[in-house]
A and B are shown apart, each in its own frame.
Chain A
C-alpha cells in the first residue's frame, strides 16, 4: 500500500527540518491549509495530506467500516507519519482533526513533540453538564442537508469516478474542485465527527498543546475551546481575532503568526 499516494501527501521545506503536519477537518481537504502551510516551509518540513474519502485521496481505499469512526482517520494520520518516518512531529489539526490528532498522539506518543488544535471540540452534542452547542436532532438535520447538497454531485460525478478506472482524468478533474466528496463518504464522516465524544482523551494528550480559538465560532464555541484547554494537561489558550470556524481561510496571516509565535517561544524556552 502506497500511503503517500493513497492520502495524496504533499511535502514542502527542508528535509532535515522539524516535521510540521497539517490535518484537515470535515468538509474540505488539504487545500484548506494553502495560505498557512507555505509560511512554515522555510524552516519546517511541512506535510499536508487528504484523509481517505476527501480531496485527491484514492477513492478505492475507502472502506465504509474503517471510516465509520474517527479511529479510521487516526489510522490514516499515523500511516502518513510512519510512511515518512517522521519523529519530533508538530501536529496541526483543524476541527475534528484536532481530536483525531489527540488520539494519534496518545497512540504513538514517541513520534510527536507538540500539537496545535484549531477550533477543537471534543463533543458537539450537548450532554449532562456539558454544552457542545448542538442537539442530536441538529446533527440529523445536518445529515439530511448533506444528502440534499450532494444530490447533484451524487448523480453526475459518482458514476464517472466509479465506472471509469481507465479515465483517471475524471478523478483528477474532481480534485480540482474544492471540498468535493462522495455523498455517502461525507455522510459517514459527518456522523463520525458530530456524534463522537473525545472528552476522555483530552487529559491523556501527552504533548504540549496550543488551542487556537476564533471569536464567534458556532461549530466550536468559546466555552468549548476553554473546556478543551482546561482538560489538556499542558495547554496554551489563544483567542484569534477571526470569525467563523476556519481561521486558516478567514485570517491566514493571524493564524500562521499565532502558530509561529508559540512554536518559536517553545524553541527558545
Chain B
C-alpha cells in the first residue's frame, strides 16, 4: 500500500506505519486472503477493475471490519501495471443483513425439505404400500402425486377382503389438496372399510358415506367408485359396481374396444340423502376392469386434455393380456403427455380374474393387514 487516507486508518485502528509499505492482502483474514488470490487479483488483472468484493479487514485491536472493495488497476503506456486504486466501504450492516438473509434462505430450504417429507409420509398412509395379493385375482395399481410431490393429493384407493373370496375395491378423489384434504381422504378410506362390514351393497355404502362426509366439519367432498367382488367356482368374479360423481370404470375384453360400465351417482358429501345406482357384471378371466381418477383424463398439455379418446386408445393398444403392463403404460402415457410434470395426482387400479388359480397356493400374509 502506497497511500491511505485518515478514514482507513481510523476504521482499521492502525497507525500509518503499520499500513503503508505492507500489502492489502496482509490485512485480510485467511479466508479473505484465499478469495483475494483466487478471485480479486485475477479479475483485477484481467478486467482492470473489480466491484463489491466482500472481505473482512483485520484491525489493530484484533477485531474485524466487514468491507466492500472496489478497485481499478492503472497501467503505463507500455501496459505495465502502475497502481491500484481501492475504494473501501464499511459493510458491517450490509453483511449482518446478508447473514440474516442467508440464514433465512437456509431455513426456508430446510422447511421445504421437511414439508416434502411430511407430504410423502402422509400420502403413503392414503394408499396401500403395495397392491395386495388376492387369490384368483390379478391386481395392479399405481398412485402418482402431482408435480414434485411436495403437496398431498386427494386421490386414494384401497383393496380389502370382506370374507373368503370376497373383496372390496374403492378408488376416489377428495376435492382439493393439502393437509385438510388428506384428513378427509383418511376419513373416507377408513369409513369405507367400516361401512363395508355393515352394508353389503356398494350403493348403500356410498349413501351412508355421503352423509358422513357431508356432516364432517370440512367443506370437502369426494368422488368414489366402489366394487364388491365375489369369486365364483369357475374362476370368474361377480362384480357389483357403484359410483358417486366418479368416471365409470372401463371394461376391457380380449380383442374388443374398452367400454364404460354404465353406473352413475351424485358426488359424495354435498347433498344429504342421496341415492346411488348399482350395476352387476361378471368378470371372466382375461377380462379387465380399470378404475382411474380424473388425473388421467384431465391431464393437460397447452390447454389440451389427455381425454377419454387417448385413454381408450391406450387401453385398446395394450389390451387385456398384461394387467400390470396396462397400468404402467397408461401412467407413462399420461405423464409423457404432460412432459413429465403432472398437474394433478393420478390413481389407477386394474383387476382381472387370474385364469385357473391354484386353490392351494400360499399367497402369504396380506402385505398391509397381515
Given known A145-B35, A152-B52, contact A249–B42 (CB-CB < 8 A): yes
Of A84-92, A110-118, A134-142, which binds chain B?
A134-142
Find residues 32-67 in chain A having any chain B CB closer than 8 Å to their own CB. Answer: 32, 34
Q: A147 at interface (Cβ–Cβ under 8 A)?
A: yes
Of B25-33, B139-147, B212-220, B351-359, which binds chain A?
B25-33
Interface SS of chain B = helix
Whether the pair A249, B45 counts as a contact (CB closer than 8 A) is: yes
Whether the pair A27, B42 counts as a contact (CB closer than 8 A) is: yes
Q: A157 at interface (Cβ–Cβ under 8 A)?
A: no
A77 to B102, CA, bound (A): 34
Q: A31 at interface (Cβ–Cβ under 8 A)?
A: yes
A138 to B56, CA, bound (A): 12
- How far does the Cβ of A175 sit from chain B's closest Cβ, in whole Å? 13
Residues in A whose Cβ lies below 8 Å from that of B369: none
Residues in A whose Cβ lies below 8 Å from that of B52: 152
Find residues 235-257 in chain A having any chain B CB closer than 8 Å to their own CB. Answer: 244-246, 249-250
Residues in A whose Cβ lies below 8 Å from that of B98: 148, 151
Find residues 212-243 in chain A having any chain B CB closer than 8 Å to their own CB. Answer: 217-219
Whether the pair B43, A178 counts as a contact (CB closer than 8 A) is: yes
Interface residue range, chain B: 20 to 34
Whether the pair A218, B33 counts as a contact (CB closer than 8 A) is: yes
Q: B187 at interface (Cβ–Cβ under 8 A)?
A: no
Q: A75 at interface (Cβ–Cβ under 8 A)?
A: no
Interface SS of chain A = helix
Whether the pair B37, A178 counts as a contact (CB closer than 8 A) is: no
Find residues 1-47 in chain B having any chain A CB closer than 8 Å to their own CB. Answer: 25, 29-35, 37-39, 41-43, 45-47
- How far does the Cβ of B9 sit from chain A's closest Cβ, in whole Å? 24
Q: A9 at interface (Cβ–Cβ under 8 A)?
A: no
Q: A262 at interface (Cβ–Cβ under 8 A)?
A: no
A95 to B102, CA, bound (A): 29
Q: B321 at interface (Cβ–Cβ under 8 A)?
A: no
- How far does the Cβ of B105 sit from chain A's closest Cβ, in whole Å? 9
Whether the pair A218, B31 counts as a contact (CB closer than 8 A) is: no
A27 to B43, CA, bound (A): 10
Given known A178-B47, A218-B37, contact A246–B42 (CB-CB < 8 A): yes
Q: B71 at interface (Cβ–Cβ under 8 A)?
A: no
A223 to B31, CA, bound (A): 20
- Tell me the nearest residue of chain B to A147, going by C-beta: B102
Whether the pair A219, B37 counts as a contact (CB closer than 8 A) is: yes
Whether the pair B42, A32 counts as a contact (CB closer than 8 A) is: yes
Residues in A whose Cβ lies below 8 Å from that of B30: 134-135, 138, 141-142
- Tell me the nearest residue of chain A to B25, going by C-beta: A218
Whether the pair B31, A149 counts as a contact (CB closer than 8 A) is: no
Q: What are 19 contact pairs spanning A and B, CB under 8 A?
A: A27-B37, A28-B42, A28-B43, A138-B34, A140-B31, A141-B32, A142-B34, A144-B31, A146-B35, A148-B98, A149-B39, A149-B53, A151-B101, A178-B43, A179-B39, A219-B38, A245-B38, A246-B37, A249-B45
Binding site for A on B (CB under 8 A): 25, 29-35, 37-39, 41-43, 45-47, 52-56, 95, 98, 101-102
**New contact pairs (11) apart from A138-B29, A244-B37, A246-B45, CB-CB < 8 Å:** A28-B38, A95-B38, A138-B30, A142-B32, A143-B31, A145-B32, A145-B54, A146-B35, A178-B47, A245-B41, A250-B45
Would you list the 6 A-B pairs with minimal beta carbon distance, nearest first?
A27-B38, A141-B31, A138-B30, A142-B31, A245-B37, A148-B54
